[in-house]
Chain A
């Protein structure tokens, strides 16, 4: 069964304290791994797509990496505005189309 697991469930950081979020997956036929950010009461906002092991993407204080079994979202010197739920999702084939399966998310709180 296709499965996506994120850890930790929640993370509290001080402003400037770097850390990493983990996303591990067990899927057949991975067609892409995606990171999203979701603020309360809003839809998920797309951050990155990773396609193959060894790939890395960066955007401001965020850097996403991918191995064959997991992905990491590294947050360098976070600011309070980085507080949000970070969702990992994988694209798997489903008939003639694809299905996006989400992990349970990591709730990040950055304190000033």
Chain B
């Protein structure tokens, strides 16, 4: 079990659907992250929130929209996705110091049909 909880574990959506991925942590971490991982590839950074403010957007297409309602929650809103967006979406959190390790959830397996 991890201390970062992601829901749902699996999601299948059509290209015209709107869905959201959710992430929650109760470790008191003030930095939260979204990563995307394709099969047999390393995780790739999408977004970083620090103290509930968006601090890094890795030029992610606007069909992905992050939201950080409070310090424990992180959402990723999905709209008009493409089949190539199918991947494992990982949420992580960390303390805000420069040497703090990230703690990952087990991800949401997204399939876009």
Q: Given that A42-B106, A43-B90, A100-B45 are contacting pairs, would A49 and B56 also be in contact in the complex, using a CB cutoff of 8 Å?
A: no
Residue-wise interface mask of A (59-103) relative to B, using a CB-CB cutoff of 8 A (1 in contact, 0 not) = 000000000000000000000000000010001011111111111
B98/A99 in contact, CB under 8 A: no
B contacts with A, residue count (CB < 8 A): 27
How many A-B Cβ pairs are below 8 Å?
65
B residues 71-91 touching A (CB-CB < 8 Å): 88, 90
B101/A49 in contact, CB under 8 A: yes
DSSP class of A's interface residues: helix, strand, loop or mixed?
strand
* A45 CA to B101 CA, complexed, in Å: 10
DSSP class of B's interface residues: helix, strand, loop or mixed?
strand
Q: Report the contact-size class of chain A (Cβ under 8 Å from the partner).
A: 20 to 34
Q: Return the contact of A32 from the options B33, B96, B98, B106 (Cβ within 8 A).
A: B98
Q: Given that A43-B2, A97-B50, A99-B48 are contacting pairs, would A104 and B42 also be in contact in the complex, using a CB cutoff of 8 Å?
A: yes
In the complex, which residues of chain A have a beta carbon less than 8 angstroms from the beta carbon of B29? none
Q: Which residues of A contact B (CB under 8 A)?
A: 31-32, 34, 36, 41-46, 49, 51, 87, 91, 93-105
Q: Which residues of B contact A (CB under 8 A)?
A: 2, 4, 31, 33, 41-45, 48, 50, 55-56, 88, 90, 92, 96, 98-99, 101-107, 109
